[in-house]
Chain A
């Protein structure tokens, strides 16, 4: 697959602190890449550099095999950006705001384009409304219309669903999924919400303290966490079970009567069940709780790696 974005050895230093420390990654055509990490990990700084609003100290960025800093206009005309935090002019109507951007991106037949995109996102009735009168969900959709006005080949989305309620967040994600399907564009997506990332991203880049600590598919990342939780509902002698757990050194807790959660590696789980059964304890229900991206996130935040 062709790479639409290549980042090489990017470094950004603010007041002698490395906000981004020598990161390299790429995004391929049609790929959705999630950029994840805790607050201060360097995600927004990375996005700001990729949009040209912040300049790096070192490193290269190229879009479509063009050096970004030497071919800014050519690159910017083929990408776009939307963020929960960026807004359009408050007092100007949605349609007027979009018209301005249509001229800046030199969109042909811009009136039809704005209307068709507005219709696609269900905001055609808002075109004459001033931006400041819109709800958060409506603003997000207007921002997405602005972000698609130039038919970008790569879309940078910085927490597009932040501050949205779960229903609106779900609808927005569905729209983003549809954009991906119908337009085959690449997305670089930052978010704190692991379910979102699992849902839409083909690949995830985890950042922490300005560095990339993991770069894999969501499944690949969760597989790196070897531990899983075994939730057993049982009928039998509690004391015997507790003694066995203590003896074997398994991590455990008893969330309620006759229910135990035991932490172990995935390959140990059958033998745990076997050993408990051997005590004469009748296991009535078994549930294996596999690690999620949330667990990967927590592992990275707390231990710095997976």
Chain B
């Protein structure tokens, strides 16, 4: 099992190494977003307590954790499909579990790498130190956002496998539809009351609220809160695994799975 997971990780390393788009979409786009939002935060913070600007910047840095995880997870099958290699992969004796574990590992490490770069950029350009957030809270937030990104990424992969590459743009675009609902840069109470209900169905909403309350008020959030969000997130991940399994099978039943490689 380990050897096959290693092979899948190796493939992702080779794809990343040879694809300028991946480097631009991850490192370049990410750093530019942090810089742009850093200046927006600086502008908004004029005459305001400094921490408000910091929450916007921190929101951007953590938003990139979701984006990079989901992007990495959803793009790997597409690189294989675009090359006509996807069926070859699954004709090899790999299981869906091995495939997903490899993609989770790659996505997680890519997001850590980008997170570190973004944090350094934020520190040197805007004087924002991400480590002002307590380390256990930071790790908790990071892991939870990654779990949610994997859940969403799995559903996006499943949809692409079932419907075909004509809707491949969801792999890098659809996540942004959720961004306004997740209260990444502002409190959820800013949203219209009718939409707040939808926002609370998404675990990252709680995470970003928690992040702001930590940064602005230094509130001690009860331990149960952390636990409940984690469980909520895991339930969503498990649900998405079932959806992925259903869509994967449905793609094989419809014959779309094999057709994907034909372009």
Contact = CB atoms under 8 A, between A and B. Distances in A.
Interface of A: 12, 14, 19, 44-45, 48, 51-55, 72-74, 76-77, 80-81, 85-93, 96-97, 99-106, 130-131, 146
Nearest to A89: B83
Contacts of A73: 93, 95
Interface in B3-24: 3-4, 6-8, 10-11, 14-15, 18-19
B127 to A, nearest CB: 40
15 contacts: A12-B255, A54-B253, A54-B255, A72-B93, A73-B95, A85-B84, A88-B83, A88-B85, A89-B14, A89-B80, A90-B82, A91-B18, A92-B14, A100-B8, A101-B88
Given A72-B93, A103-B6, A106-B4, A54 B80 contact: no
A100 B10 contact: yes
Contacts of A54: 252-253, 255, 257-258
Residue in A88, A96, A100 whose Cβ sees the most chain B Cβ within 10 Å: A100
A86 B255 contact: no
Contacts of A77: 93
A104 to B, nearest CB: 4
Main secondary structure of the interface of B (DSSP, over half): helix
Contacts of B6: 103
A104 B3 CA distance: 7
B110 interface: no
A102 B89 CA distance: 11
Nearest to B262: A85
A76 B93 contact: yes
Contacts of B88: 81, 86-88, 101, 146
B225 interface: no
B87 interface: yes
B255 A87 contact: no
Given A53-B91, A54-B255, 15 more contacts: A48-B255, A53-B87, A73-B93, A76-B92, A86-B87, A86-B88, A91-B15, A91-B18, A91-B83, A92-B14, A103-B3, A103-B6, A104-B93, A104-B94, A130-B18
Nearest to B250: A55
B261 A85 contact: yes
B255 A81 contact: no
B79 interface: yes
Interface of B: 3-4, 6-8, 10-11, 14-15, 18-19, 79-80, 82-85, 87-95, 249, 252-255, 257-258, 261-262
B92 A105 contact: yes
B91 A80 contact: yes
Nearest to A92: B14
A87 B252 contact: no
A12 B258 CA distance: 14
Contacts of B254: 14
Contacts of B10: 96, 99-100, 103
A255 B263 CA distance: 46
Given A100-B10, A104-B8, A89 B257 contact: no
A40 to B, nearest CB: 13
A103 B92 CA distance: 10
A100 B7 contact: yes
Contacts of B90: 52-53
A19 B253 CA distance: 12
Contacts of A89: 11, 14-15, 79-80, 83, 85
B64 to A, nearest CB: 25
